[in-house]
Amino acid sequence: MAGLLIIYTGGTIGMVAGPQGLQPGDGVLEAALADQVPDGVVVSVERFDPLVDSANVGPADWNRMLDLIEAWQGRGVIVVHGTDTMAYTGAALSSALPNPAIPVVLCGSMVPLGQGGDAEGNLALAMHTALTGPSGVWLAFAGKVMAAAGLVKHDSHGADAFRAQPQVPFVPAHHRFVKRRFAVLTLTPGLPAQAVAAMLGELDGAVLRVFGAGTMMADAALEGVLRDAVARGCRLRAVSQCEAGGVAPASYAAGAGLWAAGVKDGGVETPELALARLWLSE
Give the domains, in start order, of the chain with CATH numbers. Answer: 2-164 (3.40.50.1170), 182-280 (3.40.50.40)
What is the value of pTM for the model shown? 0.96
Strands in 264-265's sheet, in edge-to-edge order, are 182-186, 205-210, 235-240, 264-265
- Average pLDDT of the chain, as a whole number: 96
pLDDT in tens, 33-55: 988 898 899 999 999 999 999 99
Q: How far apart are the C-alpha atoms of 214 and 157, rounded to whole Å?
A: 30
pLDDT in tens, 138-172: 999 999 999 999 999 999 999 999 999 999 999 99
Report CA 281 to chain centroid distance, whole Å. 16
Per the DSSP assignment, residues forming a β-bridge with 31 are none
The set of residues, in sequence order, having a beta carbon less than 8 Å from that of 54 and lying 6+ positions away, is 9, 10, 11, 81, 82, 83, 84, 85, 86, 89, 108
Residue 1 confidence (pLDDT): 60
User: For each successive 10 residues of the chain (282 residues), what is the average pLDDT?
Assistant: 91 92 87 89 94 94 98 96 98 96 98 95 97 97 98 97 97 95 97 98 98 96 98 98 95 94 97 97 88
pLDDT in tens, 114-133: 999 999 999 999 999 999 99
